Amino acid sequence: MIKVKLDRGPAATLKEGVTVAQAFQALDADTDRHVVAARADGELLDLARTLTRDCTLAPVSVDSPEGLEIMRHSASHVMAEAVRDLFPGVKVAIGPAIESGFYYDFEVPEPFTPDDLGRIEARMADIVGRDLPFERGQVPKDEATEIFRKDGEVYKLELLGEIPDQQVSLYRQGSFVDLCRGPHVPSTGYIRAFKLTGISGAYWRGDERRPMLQRIYGTAFPTQEELERHLELLEEAKRRDHRRLGRELGLFSLEEEAGPGLVIYHPKGALLRSIIEDFERREHFKRGYQMVMGPQMLRVELWERSGHLANYRDHMYFTEVEGQTYGIKPMNCVAHMLIYKSRIRSYRELPLRYFELGTVLRHERSGVLHGLTRVRQFTQDDAHILCTPEQVEAEIVGVLDFVFDVMAIFGFAYEVELSTRPEKSIGSDEEWDRATTALTNALAAKNLSYHVCHGEGAFYGPKIDIKLKDALARRWQCATIQCDFTLPERFDLTYVGPDGERHRPAMLHRVILGSLERFLGVLVEHYAGAFPVWLAPVQVVLLPITDRVHDYAEEVAQALRAAALRVEVDNRPETLRYKIREAQVQKIPYMVVLGDREAASRTLAPRLRDGTELKDIPLEAFMARLLEESRIPATTGHS
Ligand SMILES: [Zn+2]
Ligand SMILES: [Zn+2]
């Protein structure tokens, strides 16, 4: 007999070998079709799994994040079965649940077409309608190898070869068997509202030297209404795609001719970026940071000393000059260490906050590059804070304040994650405890709720990550605050304390926006290209109707430019209709049509992006309004 307790509920003594579903029934737990799996002492289990020891059970509902993930992962198996039915000879690769749905990768002779998706969906509906059970089997690895060899499933065989265990688990529904850890929903009928959303090529394991597979994306939700709401958001995301808007708004391009993952900023994009950089510099100065600049490449010996050569070599580029090997910087830390070390430091100078808009190069596989969000060269708003151990907590609070001030300006919501010590790590228990306590105390001081990612810290220290949420509720990595025990040690950084002795400073790496490239990509989609006036590369476009008002248009433009406002005059011999349409596509905040009437009265009739028209405003009044709206929003700041 075993003792099974319901989480926050009663307990019962049950026969060993009872299934999870039976245990729920015995304990009078809610067992309707919302419950798709269970958590037994933390471990996720199928409802059909048997219990062999005392445990505490909690139902996992499809409405919870993990329940939803289980349903979506199950949908990927159903999709794979449908594809195998419809495309004989197809080879299946992997099919995980992802942030907002699932995918499965297939090797097929011809890429899938949008028509294929409709056929696959119909077959999936058929499989769901038959309510086939997901059956779990635990088999010796040899047996599994035999099953997949018979079917010619080379990708499954490769995955199997990498599993060290002698026993593996297989899941079967209908005619489809998959190598899978599970858990799954009890049967295909549990898959509610689903939809296939896209097709793309994807290299096996993201490696461009491996075969190109065909990936089908899909999603699934507990209800049809939730699915439809999600599909609307997807449509909106497509309309806002920064790669398309980046081209249409003349912001940037990525050219095959220049090389993959290398961003070329066009005039308006470079202007937008410099507005953000100016904003960043000002905010950093306000908070007691000092600006520094390091070189683009440093001797390879320094990278050896910093540990990058041992831990980060695959992401670095190297070059040779006069027989000396240099590493192109993938991070900005090393030069900052040299600045600190350039003279003896006293505790009176601390904290030192070195800030750099540092451009780094990192090797990413060409298969994973994406628009501005995943590139090979990018600029970080990077800083390193060196302080006494006692100052760490206050410094973290300061960085958190900084992040939230900035998020508020751009209108982003956020989520906070704390990552703790991973298995493979350096530093003493005492150091980890102290750093983790400093991070949690800072989060508590700011009254922040956060998610703990156990064991996901960097090998050199724990960290806080802040994920911003854009207008479409998508999450993006931006700020991080990392404690580091290694660099002060490796570079033998010290300060002279009040006791006259040398001490090791504590160190934080931190970014606020993170990669400026990714942040710009996110901003473009967040605002759908309609930037607020203070960010808009062009704030006003003047549209003279006739040649007679050219002088007046020039005079207005001069006055605006003299006030550092960003204005364009559209003098092209196109129709007014055409020019208005184009200004709308460019999402310019103010469009000003100039005719004889305005020239005679020396007024303006600006039209806002939302269609509002301002009648007969004197130039001075319009300028005052624009200047007010162009002011970079104020933040509190502190040091
Ligand atoms: Zn699976
Ligand atoms: Zn760093």
* Rounded-to-integer distance, Cα 281 and Cα 283, Å: 6
Token representation of residue 51: 């219990």
Residue 230: its H or E element: helix 224-239
Taking residues 153-182, what's their average pLDDT? 94
* Ligand 2 centroid from CA 480, angstroms: 11
Residue type, 400: L
Q: How do beta strands 101-107 and 97-98 pair?
A: antiparallel
Q: Is the dihedral of CA 189, 194, 195, 201 positive or negative?
A: negative
pLDDT score of 125: 97
* Ligand 1 centroid from CA 228, angstroms: 25
Q: Verify whether residue 509 is a known catalytic residue.
A: yes
Task: Determine which one of 72, 240, 421, 509 is catalytic.
Answer: 509
CA distances from 492 to 55, 383, 389, 429, 502 (A): 50, 19, 16, 20, 11
Residue 487 burial (CB count, 10 A): 22
| Range of lowest pLDDT (46-50, 372-376, 423-427, 624-628) | 423-427
Q: In this structure, which residues have their CB less than 5 angstroms from ion ligand 2?
A: 333, 509
What is the average pLDDT value for the chain, to the nearest integer?
93
Q: Verify whether residue 53 is a known catalytic residue.
A: no
Q: Residue 637: is its pLDDT beyond 70?
A: no
Q: Verify whether residue 370 is a known catalytic residue.
A: no
Taking residues 608-633, what's their average pLDDT? 91
* Ligand 1 centroid from CA 52, angstroms: 24
Taking residues 278-304, what's their average pLDDT? 96
The proportion of the chain whose per-residue pLDDT surpasses 70, expressed as a percent, equals: 99
**What is the per-residue pLDDT across 319-362, written as a single tens digit (0 to 9) for each?**
999 999 999 999 999 999 999 999 999 999 999 999 999 999 99
* Ligand 2 centroid from CA 499, angstroms: 29
Task: Answer whether 468's CB lies under 8 Å from 490's CB.
Answer: no
Residue type, 179: L
* Ligand 1 centroid from CA 182, angstroms: 6
Q: Verify whether residue 474 is a known catalytic residue.
A: no
* Ligand 1 centroid from CA 635, angstroms: 48
Task: Determine which one of 46, 382, 405, 470 is catalytic.
Answer: 382
Q: Residue 42: is its pLDDT beyond 50?
A: yes
Taking residues 113-118, what's their average pLDDT? 94
* Ligand 2 centroid from CA 308, angstroms: 11
CA distances from 240 to 245, 264, 623 (A): 7, 20, 31
Q: Nearest CA to 419 among 455, 472, 468, 377? A: 455
Question: What SS3 class is residue 99?
Answer: coil
**Stronger pLDDT, 634 or 511, i.e. the higher one:** 511
Token representation of residue 333: 């830390």
Q: How many residues does the chain have?
A: 639
pLDDT score of 544: 94
pLDDT score of 498: 96
Which ligand ends up closest to the CA of 171?
Answer: 1
Q: Confidence class of residue 639 from pLDDT cuts 50, 70 and 90?
A: very low
Q: Verify whether residue 209 is a known catalytic residue.
A: no
* Rounded-to-integer distance, Cα 79 and Cα 173, Å: 11
* Ligand 1 centroid from CA 5, angstroms: 29
**What is the per-residue pLDDT across 573-589, written as a single tens digit (0 to 9) for each?**
899 999 999 999 999 99
Taking residues 106-114, what's their average pLDDT? 93
**What is the per-residue pLDDT across 407-431, written as a single tens digit (0 to 9) for each?**
999 989 899 999 999 887 777 888 8
* Ligand 2 centroid from CA 384, angstroms: 6
Which ligand ends up closest to the CA of 482?
Answer: 2
Which ligand ends up closest to the CA of 511?
Answer: 2
* Rounded-to-integer distance, Cα 419 and Cα 427, Å: 16
Single pTM value for the model: 0.80
Which ligand ends up closest to the CA of 104?
Answer: 1
Which ligand ends up closest to the CA of 332?
Answer: 2
Residue 406: its H or E element: helix 392-410
Q: In this structure, which residues have their CB less than 5 angstroms from ion ligand 1?
A: 180
Taking residues 184-201, what's their average pLDDT? 94
Task: Determine which one of 384, 421, 434, 579 is catalytic.
Answer: 384
